[in-house]
Structure 1
């Protein structure tokens, strides 16, 4: 997926390339005889070219992959009539094969993996949500919390896919094959909006994990929200609290960093506004719950040390993807600070867990839930 920083830099370099070209057009002396006029076709800068000649110029330096194609050239042919040759479609003929980016198999494989993960998660989450909401006997605070968590994961997946699709569609590699690179800016408002919505959905997802953690902790220890039959406080926590962090982030971005469609963080303090509080809180309550589980396993242990150690390990591995603890691993390794192999590992690791997280949650909270399975079994038998 294209990054906001690369896209913004590409446009700025294109502007510089265009200005240099205009300066050349205005100041270079004219050729003698019959020739094709100098021009800027919004892809490359073409000097005056004698009729009947093929002109080769270096690949434009604004291309994001310029370092890979710096030795390449783009070609146009000036016809014998002093006009640039055209294709059957009417477009000016241009050979830019040497300036195109080579396809990266690894990137395609990661993208396919990512798409499969989110598609599987969306299917299982939507089905699980329908199951929990369709049967009245499954309606209770616990399952309402599960349902909202499913919904937050669905919205997160959709918002991520929409944002990335918009970036790929409007600012991806194909934009360089179009006639006007300025089209890259025509969708900045919608892209910025999609970025804000994605951040809200991601944050709401984290706070619903927090709600799940609070409920689990209340079951293990005591009631945090006194009336267990009311889940309004959870609604406020899951859908309302994210606004307290997203809105200040939006204000700071508008005032101090209103560029690059907000897809990159130059000032990491703004990023910490929306991410650090909930990741830190989730990590603390995760450790607290593990401590409680450990104490209960020790108290109820009848088979010796290895048994409860194994059960604790299983509980830990189960809770980690549910509370998003895997994000703690790369919390300080942002896209702006990682390169090379570390960046690839981070992208692969986070995309795998984030894209399949919804599937894991749906399985653990619905498909593998004994209460749900028992009810569905009774329902199908009765039918």
Structure 2
């Protein structure tokens, strides 16, 4: 008996995984397994040939399912189908890959254990990286339920994917040479896809906006911090507090940029360069991203509590100077840098014990998120109350000293108000009661835009108002102070 069998892995080299139109055209079909069998003159039965084909398939399935191509299938499926923010979070990718592995293993069990069809030719059972196909009689169409690993499976659970078995016992192919497969019932609706594409573009625009804002803030804050620390004339408790506020804003900007870089590297389009998806999705590989996430939460909290420190200092100067010693600097250090540790550590512990997934960027249980959210809301509310009290004091003093210049004191009050808003972080109060659970639709987009815009450019405004526009930091005065120091 002479039987020749070739196991071929047909990978389409022309498929560009970054081209959405090509991906839609090929329906994610990056690899197709096929068999070619020819019979000798000894009259080997179709059943024996099919059994041999099955044996060859099982022996070669490890090579066919190599990890690099696993990545191509899953990543291509998600990058072009899901919004950027979901992919970057890692949650969708991680969950989809886990379910895909489960689906693949169940398919292999079926291939190994399901009895062969009896009598004549049939198209072989196979797993084409998308769906699992059983042995099919020639000249028939087989319908398989949409794979359960699809992120949008709930929308297409009643749909089917089809293949057609030719009369010669070979799966039919289309004009491009690929095995024909009808996946239309398992794809997302076009209206949903267009909405997600719009949302994806919106998220990209938001990210560009706050990246520019944090970069600009980072540059101006670093320069302002150098100025405050370089000239002895500027060394006082007030400017020390300003300097720590600048530093907290610098660290916040850096942590956000580093966190985004880690997310992009670990779960963004950079994952196309990875070769081992299991290693990529392991807890060890996510450590760097999680550290960046923890540092960002610490810096955000420190930033808010240095705003709180600024508010307390100004309140003590204008209102409670009799009761508070303004020359003591250590309490402000403990408040600004120590308080965040009290809340970040429990949050890290809860993440490790209860939500130790991907980059810790997704809050499945919002109760744990309140460990971070509550101290921020508390500081923002106290800052707002102090802000209103200080405005009341400023208003009374301006009225007393400007009885004949009513319009003038009104203008000065407006100037003082606008100056204090970025220093105290008062803009946070706008959406303080509009939590993530309550905001949906257009309101959520508005909240995200204003939050990202104001938070990213806040450092720039603070640096300009309290350093570059400060009369104490005038170039002429700094020149004189530097000359005095040299003398």
TM tier, shorter chain? 0.7 to 0.9
CA contact (8 A) 2:88 2:263 kept: no
Q: How does 1:167-316 map to 2 (within 5 A)?
A: 167-172=263-268, 175=271, 181-182=277-278, 183-186=280-283, 187-223=285-321, 225-226=324-325, 228=327, 230-259=328-357, 261-265=359-363, 266-268=365-367, 269-303=370-404, 305-316=406-417
Structure 1 window deviating more from structure 2 (7-16 vs 144-153): it is 7-16
**Greater CA drift, 365-374 or 299-308:** 299-308
TM-score by length of 1: 0.77
Aligned pairs for 1:143-158 (under 5 A) are 143-158=239-254
Spell out the pairing of 1:1-383 with structure 2 (5 A cutoff).
2=85, 7-28=90-111, 29=114, 38-39=126-127, 44-45=130-131, 47=133, 102=197, 104-172=200-268, 175=271, 181-182=277-278, 183-186=280-283, 187-223=285-321, 225-226=324-325, 228=327, 230-259=328-357, 261-265=359-363, 266-268=365-367, 269-303=370-404, 305-375=406-476, 378-379=479-480
Partner Cα separation in structure 2 for residue 307 and residue 321 of structure 1:
23
What CA distance in whole angstroms lies between the structure 2 residues aligned with 1:311 and 1:174? Answer: 52
- 1:93 maps to none
- Structure 1: gaps spanning 5 or more residues: 51-55, 76-81, 83-95
- Determine which structure has greater relative contact order: mean sequence separation of CA pairs < 8 Å that are 6+ residues apart, divided by chain length: 1
**Kindly tell me: are residues 63 and 180 of structure 1, through their superposed partners in 2, closer, same or farther at Cα, counting changes over 3 Å?**
farther
CA–CA distance in structure 1, aligned partners of residues 269 and 148 of structure 2? 15
| Secondary structure of the structure 1 residue equivalent to 2:225 | helix
Q: Distance in 2 between matches of 1:364 and 1:38?
A: 68
The residue number in structure 1 matching 2:51 is none
| Alignment RMSD | 4.4
> 3-state DSSP class of the match of 2:325?
coil
The answer (yes or no) to whether the contact 2:88–2:267 under 8 Å persists in 1 is no
Deviation sequence 1:207-244 (CA, Å, 0-9, x none): 1111111221222124364152x422221221112222
Q: For the residues of structure 1 that align with 2:389 and 2:274, how far apart are their CA atoms?
A: 55
| Deviation (angstroms), 1:23 | 1.4
User: Structure 2: 5+ residue runs without aligned partners?
Assistant: 1-83, 137-142, 164-169, 171-182
- Tell me how far 1:180 sits from its aligned partner: 5.2
Q: Which moved more, 1:364-373 or 1:319-328?
A: 319-328
How many residues are matched? 366
Distance 1:17 1:4, change over 3 A: closer
CA contact (8 A) 1:2 1:172 kept: no
Deviates more, 1:113-122 or 1:286-295: 286-295
Say which SS state the counterpart of residue 17 (structure 1) adopts: helix
Cα distance in structure 2, aligned partners of 1:179 and 1:63: 22
CA deviations 1:294-314 (Å, max 9, x no partner) are 222222233455443443333
Indicate the SS of the match to 1:262. Answer: coil
**Residue 6 (structure 1) shift:** 5.8
CA contact (8 A) 1:4 1:263 kept: no
Cα drift, residue 59 of structure 1: 9.1
Q: Within 1, Cα distance between the matches of 2:134 and 2:274?
A: 23
1:154-213 CA-to-partner distances (Å, cap 9, x unmatched) read 001111111122122212355478665542344333322222211111111111111111
> Contact 1:8–1:260 (CA<8 Å) still a contact in 2?
yes
